Amino acid sequence: MQREDKRFYHKEVCYKKYLDAKAATKRENEEWDKLYQYIIALHDLVVLPTGNITRLKELRAGYLIKNGEKVRQWRTGPSFELMYEAYQLAEESIRWCIANKLDGSNDTKAINYGISIMIDKLNEANQIRKSKKNQERAQKQVAAQESKKDQSFKNNYNKKSDDLDISAFL
């Protein structure tokens, strides 16, 4: 039994699952903090209103509608990192809308407008992320093939040793 946080865990399975969940939660909290700071800087705020925080958290959680009711899922929506990338894609249009349509206001409605623009860019950000992963995978495959070719050229010629060879005496 392993003890941590005033709890006991089995060493083989449960403790490893606990550590994995703890690391995932830490990573998600860091992503959330990054997104939060970006939104505050984008809209020139001191604190993000709770209504907007709730909307972003609900978007992350992902909701499923069953029998006409919203059922909260657990981490089925887009990640905070993907939302951050979508915000970066939509930054120019959000800034333009704040300056021209919303007359520089930074209230809850303006932030909701920015979130709506970001939601439109989620699919584009996801496609960019997928294409980057595919490019990295292709580059790794090319590098692996090139290293195999280099090894095959080096190992092509093996000099055979012969006991009757007199070149060692010359």
- In this prediction, residue 104 carries a pLDDT of 73
* Long-range contacts, stretch 55-63, CB < 8 angstroms, 24+ apart: 55/112, 55/115, 56/80, 56/83, 56/115, 59/83, 59/115, 59/119
* Long-range contacts, stretch 42-49, CB < 8 angstroms, 24+ apart: 42/87, 42/91, 42/94, 42/95, 42/114, 43/98, 43/106, 43/110, 43/111, 43/114, 44/106, 45/106, 45/111, 48/111, 49/107, 49/108, 49/111
- In this prediction, residue 92 carries a pLDDT of 94
Q: Are 79 and 35 in contact (CB under 8 A)?
A: no
pLDDT, block means (10 residues), the chain with 170 residues? 72 85 93 95 90 90 76 82 95 90 82 91 94 94 80 59 65
> Whole-model pTM?
0.73
Total count of residues recorded for the chain: 170
pLDDT tens, position by position, 136-162: 999 999 888 887 776 665 555 556 666
- In this prediction, residue 3 carries a pLDDT of 66
Q: In the beta sheet, which residues pair with residue 63?
A: 72
Phi, psi values for residue 161, rounded to 5°: -90, 140
User: Can you tell me whether residue 4 is helix, strand or coil?
Assistant: strand
